[in-house]
Amino acid sequence: MWRGVTRWKPFLSGASMIRIGWHHPAKLLIYPIRNNVDGEGRQLVNWVCDIETPQYQARDWNRRGRLEDFLPAMADWHFDWLDVPKFISSSDAILEYPMVDQDPLPRWSFGRLTLLGDAAHPMYPRGANGAAQAILDCRALTDALSANADAVAALKAYEAKRLPATAEVVLANRKAPPDAILHEVYRRTGDKPFKNIDDVISREELVALSESYKRVAGYDKERLKTRV
């Protein structure tokens, strides 16, 4: 994965999130994260490009990425609303990081010590869900500590609630993440252009794909409605 932020004039709605392509040759995700960063109306626009490659280097948050390693895959991506090569080349800085996660752990709590968030369940960044799950951990931990006078029992109760739930998200991010929709469209079209998404995949299938992930991640509408 190659990541960066580019200062760029707003495009499409000015708040659009763009997902382009699959990993062959590249998958690109783009969305603005801050408005008017220069007094001239430019936004800070976040982007991440994924390419499936045998090239692997151990994880390091600070490794600089090189344009020549990934930009050729998108060399002809020129849209009316965005010139991708120009946009990516104008990035402030580029970082490279492998797509990695960790197998679910057998336990988190050891006496009066426990884990939470990425320390407990680092996951593939495919569901935009790591921080959201850390917040759900916090809520469960607070509930458990409020309900139990014994801290050790509280941490065990917190773990019993959140370890299996987050393990499911980690595994879903490997097998059936939200971007499985892109893969399905890529598979059905053979990566050829199409005019109307309804000709490729039905609304029902799209909803089913996204709802199944929402159920695992805990933000499907029905579950949220029943929360107190």
Ligand X SMILES: Cc1cc2nc3c(=O)[nH]c(=O)nc-3n(C[C@H](O)[C@H](O)[C@H](O)COP(=O)(O)OP(=O)(O)OC[C@H]3O[C@@H](n4cnc5c(N)ncnc54)[C@H](O)[C@@H]3O)c2cc1C
Which residue ranges make up the site for ligand X (CB under 6 A)? 3, 117-119, 125, 128-132, 134
Residue 27 CA to residue 74 CA, distance in Å, equals: 9
- At residue 127, φ and ψ (nearest 5 deg) are -110, 5
Total H helices, total E strands in the chain = 7, 5
* Closer Cβ to ligand X, 61 or 196, answer by number: 61
Nearest residue (CB) to ligand X, 105 versus 128: 128
Helix axis angle, 151-175 relative to 203-217, nearest 10°?
160
Q: In what order do the strands lie in the sheet with 18-20?
A: 18-20, 27-34, 43-50, 2-8, 94-96
Minimum Å gap between C-beta 18 and ligand X is: 14
Nearest to 127 by CA among 43, 65, 212, 24: 212
- Cβ burial of 25 (10 Å; 0-12, 13-18, 19+) is middle
How far apart are CB 120 and ligand X at their closest, in Å? 8
Q: Which residues pair with 48 in a beta bridge?
A: 3, 29
Please identify, using beta-carbon distances, which residue of 12 and 128 lies nearer to ligand X. Answer: 128
Task: Measure the CA–CA gap between 156 and 143, rounded to whole angstroms.
Answer: 12
Which two tokens mark 143? Answer: 């509930």
With respect to ligand X, which residue has the nearer C-beta, 67 or 132?
132
**Nearest-approach distance from CB 118 to ligand X, in angstroms:** 4
At closest approach, how far in Å is the CB of 180 from ligand X? 17
Nearest distance from residue 116's CB to ligand X, in Å? 6
**Rounded to the nearest whole angstrom, what is the least distance from the CB of residue 28 to ligand X in the complex?**
14
